[in-house]
Chains A and B, each alone.
Chain A
Amino acid sequence: MAKYYGYTGKTLRINLSRGKITVHRLEKELMVNFLGGRGFNSKRLFDEIKPGLDPLSPENKLIFATGPLVGTMFPTASRFNVSAKSPLTGILGDSNAGGHFASEMKFAGYDQIILEGRSKKPIYIFIDDDSVEFRVADHLWGRNVYETDREIKKDLGDQNVQIAVIGPASENGVKFGGIFANLMRAAGRTGMGTVMASKKVKALAVRGSKSVEVADPGKFEKLVEEIEGEIYGHPQYWPRRSMGTTRILMVANMMGFLPTRHFTSGVFEHAEEVSGEKLVEEYNVKTRACFSCILPCSRFYVVRKGKYTGLCGEGPEYESLSSFTARIGNSDIQVALKANDMVNKLGLDAITTAECISWAMECYEKGLITKEEADGLDLTWGNEETILTLIEKIANREGFGDILADGVRKAAEKMGRGREIAFHVKGLELIQADPRGLKGYGLGYAVASRGGDHLRSEPFFELSGDLKRGLELFGIPETADRLAYKGKGKLVCFFEEWCAVADALEVCKNVAENMEILPFNKAAETIKAATGMEMSGEDIRKIGERIVNVERGFLVREGIRRRDDTLPKRFLVEPMPNGPCKGSKFELEPMLNEYYVERGWNPENGVPTEKKLKELGLTYVVKELGKLGVKIY
């Protein structure tokens, strides 16, 4: 058997219905064309999921994957992707998390773990190198994330196993349950926890003792040293280290794109009271980090006075912090910390939960929902009791919570009201950045392969304002202007490919992309030193493009077309009411056209062209779409 470098070279397939465990070799073709992580997952989902499949049926597959750099000393390479067909959106589901789980998976000897079928009884799976064990989890079913983690460690008699757990919300069938590693590292989006619960798997515990080797240790060490120097010398190093992503809150507020009270305003008057700076000043006690990361941006907080004294945990990051403050009109940071702690323990996606609550609040304000319909809850902005009760109700699918537990799109359909103000794209709730103040990001939400999300493209470059550099890099100075439209299609294409590569290598996007530490040619060098695969920067970019196209193929097969690549109506017709972005609307169509042309997709329907797919070696996508009668030009 040929030796693998970087990769472990093994895929573990666990059939839960039959209790069958198979290990197969990682195909060379997959490594060269898809690199790892998200690339592996998207390709496998395209191959193995039939169109129209019910996401909660046993035929759905839940796939964990890591990348070739995970488990080495490459800074920030510590992440894993978990993918399946999403029960929340009905299209591609995919989420990514850091922590120490992914590296342990590599040390146990697996690049990818596939769960298929459905167990008869609740179980958890213990993977100890080559042994895979199903263990009874009857006593764990219904327990929260923290308790489950504790119990499993006690059960196995080892505090050092790494565990990915689901919470009670997923078991109750909430459509946006997440998978949690290291208690607070959430792969929260698109309801991957719900899929895991439908397979009756409570947790995946991993322990490994194998080594990860690199092809050229000398070269690899030198490259890591170079990258270390770049990270330590970066102007964003210290702000990121002290505040993590929460520093964005004040920036977003200053620039006027902080979604406040369910996107009815771009500035939050209490922003300072709930900012990252406030957290640092009054709550943070120490830094924490993911595996092998030299930029410890996670912070451990302790609440030392007030009602929630004793509350402690890691984070929160920008999304959950601003979701539970500005988005729902809450100005008490302690309530946000409590809400964040609750969603972590119950196993919910913070962004989606906050969107559901803020949607209900706006509906209430507009008179679309009455107090009686909301179980007597007072849905005024920022009401502490309502927020915390609603989180619990959603997790338990009780009363009004039951309506919200299928996501905001379904909630609006069920109520038959408030459809225009349900902020989602393709069923996935929007993140915390108003597209009216960030045109590139907005385009990114519209075309993202998992729905309304920024992590598929993250074109941070438009925030730089560096017109000269825009001209240099993209030939269009306006790419560096966040309120301009010109060139944004090109910009988003470029960043989508970059993000796909970062996800495939499973490195941290904050560092690799936002801090511009790992451009394509540097990635190529690193991959060569780590795995021995000879690649150029252009090949790496192509891999990113291939991943984007295969995912689009998956979406097209599920019936997604150009008409679905859109944003909620408010952004398209209502100008921003206040703040620095006042009066700005969002004009999607011209950018979208530019994007399709740049992508090599058909601008009429948003389907990749045959020429493009063949150029990327995706003939099986052409064949598959042809079989379904999709017109490819």
Chain B
Amino acid sequence: MKKLFVDPLKCSGCRYCEMICSFYHEGVFNYRCSRIRVVREDEFGVDYPVVCRQCSSCPCIEVCPVEALKKNQMGTVKVVEDRCIGCFKCVEECFFGAINVHPEKMVPIICDLCGGDLRCVEKCPTNAIKYVDPGVFAGEKRRRYAETIYTNVFKKWRLKKRGGNP
């Protein structure tokens, strides 16, 4: 099953994803209604997109006292708004702070992967968000790490760029 992955070094912190998300889900522009949020820190240039990780066993579901959260087939967590008592225990429990709170309805809002057609992934200007199979992602990450190693080796051999002879 595919999952969401982020690359904080690629993220520019433009928060375009927040706007797209809130527009797609609520029809208005309001980052508080967005399922994805970007944490920005200006002094050290940190931009970190926080997404729902679609955990296999969801702490948020486990702690809900009224069973207002349910897992559906895609692996996303659905909020049954009528049942929600607004205790926000789920917000408290989520490791990543990925659960947001709707400013008017005062219910938790959780990423639904746009039903499979992910808007934030599609629209991200720097491709900082990915929706891939975890195994495939691990492979990519591994390769990128290995590449940094051989770039260093090649540098030692006084080749400026990988792949070219001097």
Contact = CB atoms under 8 A, between A and B. Distances in A.
Interface of A: 71-73, 75, 100, 107, 146, 149-150, 159, 182-184, 209-214, 217, 221, 228, 285-296, 298, 300, 312-314
Nearest to B40: A100
Interface in B16-47: 16, 19-20, 22-23, 26-33, 40-45, 47
Given A72-B29, A212-B28, A294 B16 contact: yes
Nearest to A220: B23
A314 B126 contact: no
Contact of B43 (A183, A294, A295): A183
Given A183-B42, A212-B28, A312-B44, A73 B19 contact: yes
B74 to A, nearest CB: 24
Contacts of B31: 107
B103 interface: yes
Nearest to A232: B125
Interface in B43-74: 43-45, 47
Nearest to A72: B29
Given A71-B29, A294-B125, A209 B103 contact: yes
A282 to B, nearest CB: 15
A296 B126 contact: yes
Nearest to B102: A209
B30 A211 contact: yes
Interface stretch (B7-15, B85-93, B136-144, B158-166): B7-15
Contact of B12 (A184, A212, A228, A288): A288
Contacts of A292: 14-16, 19
A212 to B, nearest CB: 4
Given A71-B29, A211-B26, A312-B45, A287 B126 contact: yes
Given A209-B30, A213-B29, A294-B125, A73 B16 contact: yes
Contact of A107 (B14, B20, B30, B43): B30
Given A211-B30, A212-B29, A213-B29, A296 B43 contact: no
A287 B15 contact: no
Contacts of A312: 44-45
A211 B27 CA distance: 10
A50 B45 CA distance: 43
A277 to B, nearest CB: 16
Nearest to A181: B42
A152 to B, nearest CB: 13
B127 to A, nearest CB: 12
B126 A73 contact: no
Given A73-B19, A209-B103, A292-B15, A286 B9 contact: yes
Given A209-B32, A211-B26, A296-B126, A289 B19 contact: no
A150 B43 CA distance: 9
B45 A285 contact: yes
Contact of A296 (B26, B41, B125): B125
Contact of A288 (B16, B22, B29, B45): B45
Contacts of B44: 312
A296 B19 contact: no
Given A107-B31, A211-B30, A314-B42, A73 B14 contact: no
Contacts of A285: 9, 45
A290 B43 CA distance: 15
Given A183-B43, A312-B44, A291 B14 contact: yes
A209 B16 CA distance: 17
B20 A73 contact: yes
A428 B103 CA distance: 45
Nearest to B26: A211
B42 A291 contact: no
Contact of B23 (A73, A100, A159, A298): A73
Given A212-B28, A212-B30, A289 B12 contact: yes
Contacts of A214: 29
A117 B61 CA distance: 53
A178 B14 CA distance: 23
A210 B12 CA distance: 24
A75 B15 CA distance: 11
B25 to A, nearest CB: 12
A132 B30 CA distance: 20
A184 B125 CA distance: 22
A210 B9 contact: no
Contacts of B23: 73, 217, 221
Contacts of A217: 23, 27
A312 B15 CA distance: 22
A180 B20 CA distance: 27
A146 B43 contact: yes
Contacts of B26: 211
Most buried by B among A71, A184, A300: A300
16 contacts: A72-B19, A73-B16, A159-B41, A184-B42, A211-B29, A211-B30, A212-B28, A213-B28, A286-B9, A288-B12, A289-B12, A293-B12, A293-B16, A293-B125, A295-B125, A300-B45
Given A73-B19, A292-B19, A295-B125, A287 B33 contact: no
B29 A294 contact: no
Given A146-B43, A287-B126, A296 B20 contact: no
Given A182-B42, A288-B13, A293-B125, 8 more contacts: A72-B29, A107-B32, A209-B103, A286-B12, A286-B45, A287-B12, A289-B14, A294-B16
Contacts of A72: 19, 29
